[in-house]
Amino acid sequence: MTTFLSGIQPSGRPHLGNYFGALRQHVAASRKAGEHFYFIADYHSLTTVSDADELRDSVRDLAATYLAIGLDPERAILFQQSRVPEVCEITWLLSCVTGMGLLERAHSYKDKVARGIKPSVGLFTYPILMSADIIAYDADVVPVGKDQVQHVEMAQDMVTHFNTRYGDVFKRPEYRLAENATMHKVLGLDGEKMSKSYGNDIWMFESGKKLKKRVGQIVTDSRPPEEPKDPDGLFLFDLLALFLEPSELGEWKEKVRVGGEGAPGYGHLKLRLMEAIEEHFTEARARYSELMADPAELDRLLTRGAERARERAVRVRDRAYAACGLR
């Protein structure tokens, strides 16, 4: 049986990139045969979030988001990372077989440092904790967005190093990207990768005036509507492609390519995007609000999820401890 696993950090609210790159895949995969583990990576968030209340709220927010978009907590095990402390024990085992050079090559670490974030040891060793997350549940497949691919490859390297030293202890995971390439790296308001830490994101459930404001901030140029343009050079179309049927998308692109009187301006395209976002999440947004109104129920679900997840992690931890002589 295939085991699927993935995680998301509770640092700010989940955005369209999280949804199309990951969460949507998680829900779709969980409807198919296999075992499914999805977790809220709160240990990881400590590398960037320092407000305790904010962290607590974000954990519930993500749990409600997963349920609102259709994750069935009976089919999939939904839990909070820190409720399974065995992950930290496995992190230590992996730390002892991982060279500094491997971590120094991590793009995500290098990007954060380049953007002025002062690195803690936790930020540096982040990929080891992430590898432990994956390995602790004997995961086979890890559905993620493109920015996390290197981290899953690092987990593969760590498994190889550990198993070479101690025998066939850990399973080797594979990453899986969304089928549609536009979803691998969803772009933000400025045309860079959409990211909570870059402040260029759109919250999945944003609506009304706030959504209008956010979409209005998508960077465009000052060319007039009538000027013919190459639509493939406009990243606004990458965002539209996430929501529109190919036929409708094609029609808009053609009008922009031809230009002339009556061609849509950037304002028109943004309006269409805004409507499409509102519409796509109508049901999920309503369900999310209902779920958020009952935090005790969310906590109950997460507690139950953690109990189920922990059973597996304890077994894997024991297997690894025995292999390396700690038991």
Q: List residues near ligand TYM by CB under 6 A.
A: 6-9, 17-18, 21-22, 41, 44, 130, 133-134, 142, 144-145, 147-148, 151, 185-186, 193-195
- Check whether 299 is labelled as a binding-site residue: no
Whether 193 is catalytic = yes
Q: Any idea what DSSP says for residue 82?
A: G
CB of 20 to ligand TYM, least distance (A): 6
- Check whether 193 is labelled as a binding-site residue: yes
User: How is residue 262 written in tokens?
Assistant: 């009556």
Closer residue to ligand TYM in complex, CB, 195/211: 195
Closer residue to ligand TYM in complex, CB, 198/321: 198
Handedness of CA 277, 278, 284, 289 (dihedral sign): positive
Question: Which is catalytic among the residues 196, 253, 255, 270?
Answer: 196
Closer residue to ligand TYM in complex, CB, 235/265: 235
Question: Which is catalytic among the residues 32, 110, 171, 193?
Answer: 193
CB of 157 to ligand TYM, least distance (A): 15
Burial of residue 302 (number of CB atoms within 10 Å: 0-12, 13-18, 19+): buried
Q: Are strands 141-143 and 174-176 parallel, antiparallel or unpaired?
A: parallel
- Check whether 264 is labelled as a binding-site residue: no
Q: Which residues contact 156 (CB under 8 A, 6 or more apart)?
A: 172, 173, 174
Whether 171 is catalytic = no
Residue nearest to ligand TYM (CB): 21
Q: Which residues contact 271 (CB under 8 A, 6 or more apart)?
A: none
| 208-216 vs 266-280: helix crossing angle, rounded to 10 | 140
Whether 212 is catalytic = no
Angle (CA) 82-152-134 rounded to 5° is 35
- Which residues make up each annotated binding site for ATP? 9-11, 17-18, 145-147, 186, 193-197
- Which residues make up each annotated binding site for L-tryptophan? 133
Q: Name the residues annotated as catalytic.
A: 112, 193, 196
